[in-house]
Amino acid sequence: MSRKIHVEILDDAEAVGRKAAARILAVVERKPEAVLGLATGSTPIPAYRELVKLAHERKVSFAGVKTFNLDEYLGLSGSHPQSYRQYMNRYLFEHLDIPLWQTALPDGAASDPEAECAAFEARIRAAGGVDLWLLGIGSNGHIGFNEPGAPRDCRTRVASLAPSTIEASAKDFGGAAGVPRQALTAGVATILEAREILLLATGAGKAPAVAGALEGPITPQLPASYLQAHPSCAFVLDRAAASKLVKP
Ligand code: F6R
Q: Which pLDDT value is given to residue 2?
A: 66
Is residue 183 lining ligand 1, measured as CB closer than 6 Å?
no
Q: Which pLDDT value is given to residue 247?
A: 86
Residue 137 pLDDT greater than 70, yes or no: yes
Residue nearest to atom 13 of ligand 1 (CA): 41
Q: Which pLDDT value is given to residue 54?
A: 98
235 closest CA partner among 190, 202, 191: 202
Mean per-residue pLDDT for 39-60?
A: 98
Q: Which pLDDT value is given to residue 37?
A: 98
First-residue to last-residue Cα distance in the chain: 13
Q: Counting atoms of ligand 1 from 1, which one is nearest the CA of 185?
A: 8
**Does 140 qualify as catalytic in the annotation?**
yes
What letter does residue 2 receive in the DSSP assignment?
Answer: -
**Does 147 qualify as catalytic in the annotation?**
yes
Is residue 136 lining ligand 1, measured as CB closer than 6 Å?
yes
**Does 142 qualify as catalytic in the annotation?**
yes
Residues 6+ apart with CB under 8 A from 195: 129, 130, 131, 132, 232
E strands present in the chain: 6-10, 35-38, 66-69, 71-73, 103-104, 132-135, 157-160, 182-185, 196-201, 233-238
Q: Which pLDDT value is given to residue 3?
A: 77
Mean per-residue pLDDT for 37-49?
A: 98
Distances (CA, A) of 237 to 3, 121, 132, 220, 241: 16, 29, 17, 22, 6
Distance of CA 19 to the CA centre of its chain: 16
Q: Which pLDDT value is given to residue 248?
A: 83
